[in-house]
Copies of this chain bind each other. A is one copy, B any other.
Amino acid sequence: MLRGVAAVALSLLVVACQPPVSEADAAPPAIQQAAAPEYLNPSARLPFSEGVRHGGVLYLAGKLGTGGERGIQPETRRALESIQDALERFGSSIDRVLKCTVFLADMAEWSAMNQVYTEFFPENKPARTAVGASGLSGNGRVEIECMAAA
C-alpha cells in the first residue's frame, strides 16, 4: 500500500510538474532571435530585397517615386504610396512605421515634400531625419527609407 501511495504521488508529480505552456515556452526568444531573417521580394534585377523582416522589425529598401510625373510632390506621393503598399504586403502598415530617413535632391524642397509627407502620417508620426543627398538613383528628387513594426 505504501508502494501504492508512492506510485500515486509519482504520477501526480509527472502531471503536476509540467510547467504551464505559455508563449514564452512555445517560442523561446533566443531561438526566435537566432532565426534566419526573412528576405521579402528579392529582386533578380536589383541588388536588394524590397524588405527584410527580423525580430519584430521590417526593414524596407529606400523607395523612389520616379515612375511617373516628375517633381518633389508627385515623387514624394508615389514613394510613400509604394512604401504603404510594401508595408501591407509584408504584414505591417503605415501607422506602425518606426523611423524614416528622407533623402532630398535639394533641401530647398523640404517644405513641399512635407506637405505631402504629413498626409500619410496623420497620427502615428515616425521618428525622422531629412537631409540633402548629393545624388539619388534615377535622378529622383526624393528617396525615402523606413523601418516598421512587423
Interface residues of A (CB under 8 A from B): 1-2, 5-6, 8-10, 12-14, 16-17, 19-20, 22-37, 39, 42-43, 47-52, 54-57, 59-62, 96, 98-101, 103-104, 106-108, 110, 114, 117-118, 121, 124-137, 143, 145, 147, 149-150
Contact (Cβ within 8 A) B5 A8? no
Q: A9-B12, A24-B29, A132-B134 are in contact. List 6 more A-B contacts (CB 8 A).
A: A24-B28, A50-B127, A51-B127, A55-B55, A107-B134, A134-B134
Contact (Cβ within 8 A) B23 A22? no
Given A28-B24, A33-B55, A33-B56; A13-B5 close (CB under 8 Å): no
Q: Which residues of B contact A121 (CB under 8 A)?
A: 47
Q: Which residues of B contact A149 (CB under 8 A)?
A: 33, 35-37, 54-55
* Interface core residue of A31, A54, A114, A121 (most chain B CB under 10 Å): A54
